[in-house]
């Protein structure tokens, strides 16, 4: 074995390529081995160093891949599973183990994340050259038992089904130990680059090859100064020097130095850093002039924006994209924003990492289909399946109508879906069209979901037939056609991963009998576990990668961003099934040459070497940045960056964005800057000529947007509605026709004028339900009482009520709505209990009912041609007189409120009295239909409980004082200090003010003004029952509080007399204004 080391600024690859060429000239086949994460980059570097840019005798590969080259001529003993195949097999094995055999992991055995952890631990044990029995040394007996059971079942399944129960490297080692490959190794040599440590498995392999006489050359970076240090802890080269020492001790390796390094400013910085991190006293050094700059920006977005503008400048200076490299401190945080911002600046890039399919439409499709079968066609699962856009060719409007109808009809289950749709909400739904859509949805699905237990290969054929019939490939292509080239490549790779699952499934369960549910469960696990990786369409792109995969002399211009103390250095933690302490415990009982990797032991040396590589990544210039905050959390710069300030480097202050044409460089970048300026305003520190230019451009953009009726996105702090046009008003409210309002429409207007517009102008309706709701419940009880009073004159009360119930129950809407299911039938029983209880007290002894469900319409204002209409539940008459009263049934307790009436929110009773104003009246009242609940905690006589219950059956409302002596106790005239009686003058005031409320609303309606003004009592919140229509208006109380209509209230007073005084004052002012106008 030969070990070559050189300084970090030297071209180590060139030295190793020369060694490979020398071995090739001696007749050896040379394998140039690189780590998995660097193999493609190393291949590019090696080819660049070869004299002819290629060689048949030198192969750049990885340890795992090398085993395939050396065993091609060997008889295939068993099939090898890839990572996805292994995870699928583990998932299947976990489901075959009875739940009662698990002691720790039974509840999470179906979790994809757990499956991945099991697969990772399985490979980690093989890399550590450990057996399943070694897990018995764990202190946690339950965990040890479960892991041993899982891995034993996995190995048995692999052997039974003809799979290799080992990694490719472990299988290759066994062949080496058996001597079956000795002939193949006669002219094999290895050149190894990019490693600072070897796993137990890799080191064991090197030992076997060394003993069999294979030439081995290992290259690494180290300095002569570091090699001479007696105390290495904290040294920048600690990892590589310890590697050299281990190889020298274990293999008696020849250790030589490579080519000298460049004597540039980065090498000088490296030498100073090496001395700084050595154990010993520190000395002050003169400042260095370096092609390295430090930048601190506000957040990740500004970092990436700054990099994008800088890249555009480099392009203007003659650089190419492939000569620029971007390193990320936190890939998960930065990668999505890199994609967005680089696309905006038209910078081609490539992020070399595997992407999960977890959020892909194909995953949503399989999850929805599996859930649909498992939960027996639940409505939400069918809707989710259709909304993926991959099932069939349905118009969006048709799917929306189907979803709405399924919610309305509460259609759940395959049996219900197979029935013809017949229920309708009036004429809201086109049932013929909906039945056609239903048939088109079920036609391809039914043959598949009705498949019985059969071989996996047969189910795969049925599944493939389903995908073809619903045109899934064509639908996926349609969804991808408007994406950019990079995203289309991602979609293509995702489709390849999805298609590969057919091969994996056929191989794993092709001959295994499966139910459809088990088959789809495996498919769901497969797509959740699947990953894909894209390859750049061209080599001339900006490579984006995590900084911990960096190599020295990587590119001419290197940007490293996100270098906060949280991510630079990275502290790798053991997050798998085994904790750090458990790994330590296992390692104590292992033989030499075995052992699990303990992350915390490697963090220090690894991070030091990574920092050294990063600081030497650039051939010409290096840019280091860190954010001031991420996700509203303040961030500090990395300690490595702070050390650089000791050598004369200072934090650079960035100029204002967009101050130079080279900063933008593309039309999309220019537009982006203009939009930012439009939203945030002009910076005061700009030069006058810059400010003038941007102001002119923004004015031009505003005019252009206004002409095109466009607006820029952002939170609008003023929400307002537009007045209706004169043509629309002429159509809605012709001059020769009157305007008709009801009490409910008046209340809607005063609660929120925009609510009136939506309900009574656009006539939008809320989504209904086939199940009886409050409106149906009220209609049902009203009909019973109407029939009840009709039969009361001829029958006894109990018999009349029973007749009324039987008559109403025969009506079609009752038999349909209350016969749907057990819940509806229970609701009907509860309502009938309320009806029977209320009927006993419904008839007052001093009155008689003369009208039921009386519709009315009267002219409120001849000048305005304003009509008021509605329905009165019941009109009573005092016995022996013609004095009338109005009764309105309520399903919830309600009383008359003067504050609400004054603000236009409680006009019902007063409007009824206005309708009867030509007759003598004794009042207008509410009657609460209820079945009262009385607490029996107090020990009272039976009569007391009955009296408490009867208090609930009282008429509450407004009563004329002059008629109160003719009313019984069943009419609530007073409650504490509240007086519900009226003098005739007070009634006249209420009627006059009520007419004014109608007239003012009618005037605003005819003018087409429907402002977004929900009511509020405190100016900070909206009443709970007031619809804000946020989805339509984007109204948000904290931002749009100025739109609230504050309710008029009396300071510290709730007396009836004070409200009448305020009403009288308002009416007097109104009359005065009218007189002034005349």
Residue 189 falls inside a structural domain: yes
Task: List b or e across 1051-1073, with b for residues whose CB sees 16 or more CB atoms inside 10 angstroms.
Answer: eeeeeeeebbebbeebbeeeeee
Torsion of CA 350, 353, 359, 360, to 10 degrees: 60
330 and 255 both lie in a single domain: no
* pLDDT over threshold 90, residue 650: no
As a whole number of angstroms, the distance between CA 1077 and CA 79 comes to: 99
Give the CA angle between residues 632, 638, 640 to the nearest 5°.
170
Q: What one-character-per-residue DSSP string does 674-727 give?
A: HHHHHHH---TTS-HHHHHHHHHHHHHHHHHHHHTT----S--S---PPPPPHH
As a whole number of angstroms, the distance between CA 36 and CA 195 comes to: 10
Residue 613 falls inside a structural domain: yes
Residue 430 falls inside a structural domain: yes
- Judged on CB neighbours under 10 Å (0-12, 13-18, 19+), 819 is exposed
823 and 806 both lie in a single domain: yes
347 and 421 both lie in a single domain: no
222 and 335 both lie in a single domain: no
Beta strand 555-561 pairing with 324-328: parallel
Residue 44 falls inside a structural domain: yes
- Residues 831-868 pLDDT 10s: 888 888 778 777 767 888 888 889 999 999 888 899 99
244 and 176 both lie in a single domain: yes
- Residues 588-614 pLDDT 10s: 888 888 888 887 778 888 899 999 999
- Residues 63-82 pLDDT 10s: 988 988 888 776 666 777 88
Domain hosting 15: range is 2-77+169-261
- Residues 465-477 pLDDT 10s: 999 999 999 999 9
> Where a domain ends, among 843, 860, 895?
843
553 and 625 both lie in a single domain: yes
The answer to whether 161 and 105 have CB atoms below 8 angstroms apart is no
784 and 821 both lie in a single domain: yes
Residue in this structure with the two tokens 């850093």, named with its chain if needed:
273
User: What is the gyration radius of the CA atoms in the chain, in angstroms?
Assistant: 41
CATH at residue 610: 3.40.50.300
- Residues 395-423 pLDDT 10s: 999 999 999 999 998 899 999 999 999 88
368 and 502 both lie in a single domain: yes
* pLDDT over threshold 90, residue 264: no
Residue 507 falls inside a structural domain: yes
693 and 629 both lie in a single domain: no
Q: Which of 195-209, 217-231, 562-576 has the lowest mean pLDDT?
A: 562-576
As a whole number of angstroms, the distance between CA 441 and CA 423 comes to: 19
Residue 213 falls inside a structural domain: yes
- Total structural domains within the chain: 6
Query: What's the mean pLDDT in 284-307?
Result: 88
Residue 987 falls inside a structural domain: no
As a whole number of angstroms, the distance between CA 173 and CA 110 comes to: 33
> Where a domain ends, among 113, 148, 163?
163
550 and 437 both lie in a single domain: no
509 and 376 both lie in a single domain: yes
- Residues 927-982 pLDDT 10s: 888 766 655 556 556 555 555 555 667 889 999 999 988 988 888 888 766 788 99
Question: What DSSP designation does 50 have?
Answer: S
- How many beta carbons lie within 10 A of that of residue 1046, not counting itself? 13
Query: What's the mean pLDDT in 158-168?
Result: 82
* pLDDT over threshold 70, residue 665: no
Query: What's the mean pLDDT in 880-906?
Result: 90
The gap from C-alpha 959 to its chain's centroid, in whole angstroms, comes to: 57
Mean pLDDT of all residues belonging to the chain = 86
- 280 pLDDT tier (thresholds 50, 70, 90): confident
- 683 pLDDT tier (thresholds 50, 70, 90): very low
Residue 911 falls inside a structural domain: no
106 and 56 both lie in a single domain: no
> Where a domain ends, among 843, 878, 897?
843
């Amino acid at each position: 074995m030969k070990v070559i080391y050189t300084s970090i600024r030297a071209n180590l690859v060139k030295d190793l390529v020369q060694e490979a060429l020398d071995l090739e000239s001696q007749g050896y086949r040379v394998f140039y081995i690189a780590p998995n994460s660097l193999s493609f980059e190393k291949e590019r570097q090696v080819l660049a160093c070869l004299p002819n840019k290629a060689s048949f005798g030198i192969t750049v590969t990885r340890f795992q891949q090398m085993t395939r080259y050396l065993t091609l001529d060997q008889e295939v003993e068993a099939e090898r599973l890839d990572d996805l195949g292994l995870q699928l097999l583990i998932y299947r094995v976990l489901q075959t183990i009875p739940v009662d055999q698990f002691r720790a992991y039974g509840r999470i055995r179906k979790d994809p994340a757990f499956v991945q952890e099991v697969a990772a631990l399985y490979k980690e044990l093989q890399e550590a050259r450990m057996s399943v029995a070694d897990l018995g040394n764990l202190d946690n007996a339950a965990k040890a038992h479960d892991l041993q059971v899982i891995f034993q079942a996995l190995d048995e399944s692999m052997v039974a089904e003809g799979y290799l129960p080992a990694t490719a490297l472990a299988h290759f080692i066994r062949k080496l130990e058996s001597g079956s490959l000795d002939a193949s190794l006669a002219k094999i040599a290895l050149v190894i680059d990019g490693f600072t440590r070897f796993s137990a498995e890799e080191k064991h392999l090197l030992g076997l090859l060394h003993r069999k006489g294979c030439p081995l050359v290992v290259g690494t970076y180290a300095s002569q100064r570091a090699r001479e240090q007696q105390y290495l802890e904290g040294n920048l080269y600690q990892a590589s020097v310890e590697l050299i020492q281990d190889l020298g001790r274990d293999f008696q390796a020849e250790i030589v130095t490579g080519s000298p390094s460049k004597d540039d400013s980065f090498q000088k910085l490296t030498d100073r850093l090496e001395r700084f991190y050595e154990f010993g006293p520190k000395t002050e050094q003169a400042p260095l002039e370096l092609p390295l700059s430090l930048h601190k920006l506000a957040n990740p977005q500004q970092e990436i924006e700054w990099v994008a503008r800088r890249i555009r400048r480099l392009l203007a200076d003659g650089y190419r994209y492939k000569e620029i490299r971007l390193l990320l401190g936190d890939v998960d945080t930065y990668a999505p924003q890199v994609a967005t911002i680089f696309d905006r600046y038209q910078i081609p890039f490539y992020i070399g990492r595997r992407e999960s399919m977890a959020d892909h439409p194909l995953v949503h499709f399989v999850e929805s289909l599996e859930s649909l079968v498992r939960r027996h066609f639940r409505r939400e699962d069918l809707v989710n399946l259709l909304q993926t856009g991959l099932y069939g060719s349905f118009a969006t409007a048709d799917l929306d109508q189907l979803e709405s109808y399924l919610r309305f009809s509460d259609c759940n289950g395959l049996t219900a879906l197979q029935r013809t749709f017949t229920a309708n909400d009036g004429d809201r739904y086109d049932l013929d069209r909906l039945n056609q859509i239903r048939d088109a949805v079920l036609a391809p699905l039914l043959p598949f979901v009705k498949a019985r237990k059969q071989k996996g290969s047969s189910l795969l054929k049925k599944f493939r037939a389903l995908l073809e019939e619903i045109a899934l490939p064509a639908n996926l292509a349609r969804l991808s056609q408007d994406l950019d080239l990079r995203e289309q490549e991602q979609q293509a790779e995702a489709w390849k991963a999805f298609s590969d699952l057919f091969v994996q499934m056929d191989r794993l369960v092709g001959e295994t009998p499966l139910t459809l549910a088990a088959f789809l469960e495996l498919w769901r696990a497969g797509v959740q576990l699947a990953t894909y990786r894209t390859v750049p369409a061209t080599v001339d792109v900006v490579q984006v990668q995590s900084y911990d995969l960096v190599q020295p002399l990587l590119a001419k211009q290197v940007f490293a961003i996100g270098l906060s103390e949280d991510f630079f250095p990275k502290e790798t933690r053991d997050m798998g099934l085994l904790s750090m302490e458990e790994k330590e415990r296992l390692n104590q009982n292992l033989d030499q040459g075995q052992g699990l990797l303990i992350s915390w032991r490697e963090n220090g040396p690894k991070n030091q070497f990574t920092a050294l590589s990063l600081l030497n990544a650039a051939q010409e210039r290096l840019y280091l940045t860190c954010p001031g905050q991420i996700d509203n959390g303040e961030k500090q710069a990395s300690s490595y960056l702070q050390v650089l300030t000791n050598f004369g480097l200072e934090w650079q202050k960035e100029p204002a964005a967009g101050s130079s044409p080279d900063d933008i460089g593309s039309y999309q970048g220019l537009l982006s800057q203009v939009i930012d300026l439009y939203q945030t305003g002009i910076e005061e520190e700009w030069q006058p000529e810059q400010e003038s230019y941007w102001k002119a451009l923004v004015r031009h953009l505003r005019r252009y947007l206004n002409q095109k009726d466009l607006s820029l996105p952002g939170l609008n702090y003023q929400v307002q509605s537009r007045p209706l046009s004169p043509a629309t008003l002429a159509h809605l409210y012709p001059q020769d026709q009157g305007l008709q309002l009801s009490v409910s429409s008046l209340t809607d207007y005063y609660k929120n004028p925009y609510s009136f517009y939506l309900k009574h102008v656009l006539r939008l309706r809320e989504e209904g339900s086939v199940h009886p709701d409050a409106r149906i419940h009220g209609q049902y009880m009203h009909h019973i009482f109407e029939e009840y009073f009709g039969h009361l004159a001829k029958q006894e009360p109990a018999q009349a009520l029973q007749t009324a119930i039987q008559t109403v129950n025969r009506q079609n809407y009752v038999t349909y709505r209350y016969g749907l299911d057990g819940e509806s039938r229970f609701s009907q029983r509860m309502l009938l209990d309320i009806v029977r209880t209320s009927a006993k007290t419904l008839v007052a002894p001093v009155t008689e009912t003369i009208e039921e469900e009386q519709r009315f319409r009267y002219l409120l204002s001849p000048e305005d041609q304003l009509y008021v209409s509605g329905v009165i539940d019941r009109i009573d008459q005092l016995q022996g007189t013609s004095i009338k009263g109005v009764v309105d049934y309520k399903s919830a307790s309600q009383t008359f409120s003067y504050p609400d009436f004054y603000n236009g929110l409680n006009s019902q009773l007063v409007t009824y009295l206005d309708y009867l104003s030509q007759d003598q009246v004794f009042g207008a009242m509410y009657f609460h239909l209820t079945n009262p609940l009385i607490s029996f905690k107090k020990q009272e006589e039976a009569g007391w409980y009955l009296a408490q219950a009867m208090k609930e059956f009282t008429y509450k409302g407004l009563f004329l004082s002059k008629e109160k002596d003719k009313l019984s106790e069943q009419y609530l005239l007073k409650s504490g200090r509240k007086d519900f009686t009226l003098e005739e003058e007070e009634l006249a005031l209420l009627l006059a003010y009520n007419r004014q409320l109608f007239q003012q609303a009618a005037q605003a309606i005819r003018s087409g003004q429907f402002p977004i003004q929900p009511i509020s009592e405190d100016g900070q919140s909206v009443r709970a029952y007031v619809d804000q229509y946020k989805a339509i208006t984007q109204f948000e109380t904290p931002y749009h509080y100025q739109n609230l209509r504050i309710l008029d209230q009396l300071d510290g007073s709730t007396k009836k007399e004070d409200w009448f005084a305020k009403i009288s004052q308002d009416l007097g002012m109104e009359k005065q204004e009218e007189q002034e106008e005349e």
